[in-house]
Structure 1
Amino acid sequence: MLLLLPLLFAACKKDELKLLPDATQTGADTMGAMVNNKAWVANGGAGFNPPDPVEGGYLASRSYDETRNNVLISAYRKDKTGFQLYLRNVSQPGEYSLNSTTNLFGGELKQPQNYGAYYIPGKLYMTTSRYTGKVIVTRADTVNRIVSGIFAFKAVHGKDTVTVTNGRFDVGTF
């Protein structure tokens, strides 16, 4: 009986992976990931005027984007959990590290470092120089304003950590 437990766990993880959106490159405004081995898929915000499930892309129209190639992606679920990815100077496909400590509430909002964040009500898990990850941008189309890719990271809130794997996003115009 004990020999069957790893097989059952592996089967559950495969079933969870099937719940994630496809890794597309069309500007479909999708995002999903495995959070501590459970599928998380953007399905919209909650409240009076909820945000779209996935918002973001190139920030060229924003005054705080000095390079005109910075990317911000925010994704929401109705259970008030969400993701945010920020990448500086994404001009072509490639690997972008999430390995710097970023203080979003201490003055770095103007030009933060690359970061990954996952939040649940009352907790914001952030990548740091110790809890790191990476984003592999598979499409960086600055003309049509589409950015797509895959990601994984480990993030921290106090002494609590979260592990994000098998992440994928595909966003169009901000």
Structure 2
Amino acid sequence: MHFSSAAMKQILILILLLLSLVFAACKKDELKLLPDATQTGANTMGAIVNGKAWVADGGTGFNPPDPVEGGYHGTYSYDATRNNVLIRAYKKDKTGFQFYLRNVSQPGEYPLNTTTNLFGGELSQPQNYGAYYIPGKLYMTTSRYTGKVIITRADTVNKIAAGIFAFKAVHGKDTVAVTNGRFDVSNF
């Protein structure tokens, strides 16, 4: 059986269309696994990591089995306002997220676009960063691998921070893409 080049193009287009529909359906299914985007201090977090749903479910955090810890935080000497937000989220598979945002006094967009060394002197005065980790690898946002957090609730009185996020981060030559992220935390 021979197909003309026009017929082959139509078959190829049909296959690509079907594959894109399957991909879109899979992505939609992954999105359904994420927690709702709330603003009540529910201590939830979830995101799509390299196309797969990631939802905090507990693990080895500072207060196990709390899946999400964080909120308004001001333990660094330069922080007179105490309006910095630190969020940590964990899964039982030992993967997790960490965010640090400076001076979050109102809803808005906060860029993740500077290089921060969590293990060096910068930790005493970190810049905004996003991190995703798996056992043996810490993926960090940098000035080249960036992202953003959009704070939808910045309640400094009740100590609730909620929002959405997306970023690309790097570990050596490996990268990770995080999309459709959402969190809702109250102080730890």
Give the shorter-chain TM-score range.
over 0.9
* Cα deviation digits, residues 17-71 of structure 1 (max 9, x gap): 0000000000000000000110000000149x734100000014x3546131000
Q: Unaligned stretches of 5+ in structure 2?
A: 1-13
% identity of equivalent residues: 83
Q: What is the TM-score with the length of structure 2 in the denominator?
A: 0.88
* Cα deviation digits, residues 136-169 of structure 1 (max 9, x gap): 0000000000000000000000000000000000
Inter-partner Cα distance in structure 2 for 1:116 and 1:27: 20
Aligned position for 2:118 = 104
Aligned position for 2:51 = 37
Match among 14, 18, 29 for residue 28 of structure 2: 14
Aligned position for 2:71 = 57
Aligned position for 1:74 = 88
Q: Unaligned stretches of 5+ in structure 1?
A: none
Amino acid corresponding to residue 186 of structure 2 in structure 1: G
Inter-partner Cα distance in structure 1 for 2:83 and 2:124: 14
Inter-partner Cα distance in structure 1 for 2:58 and 2:162: 19
Q: Find the structure with the greater CA-based Rg.
A: 2
Aligned position for 1:139 = 153
Q: Is the 8 A contact 1:46 1:79 kept in 2?
A: no
Q: Is the 8 A contact 1:28 1:170 kept in 2?
A: yes
What is the number of residues matched between the two proteins? 172
Quote the offset at 1:170 in angstroms. 0.2
Aligned position for 1:151 = 165
Residue 187 of structure 2 corresponds to residue 173 of structure 1: yes
Inter-partner Cα distance in structure 1 for 2:178 and 2:18: 26
Inter-partner Cα distance in structure 1 for 2:40 and 2:172: 37
Runs of 4+ with >4 A deviation: none
Inter-partner Cα distance in structure 2 for 1:65 and 1:135: 22
Distance 1:65 1:41, change over 3 A: farther
* Cα deviation digits, residues 78-97 of structure 1 (max 9, x gap): 00000001000000000000
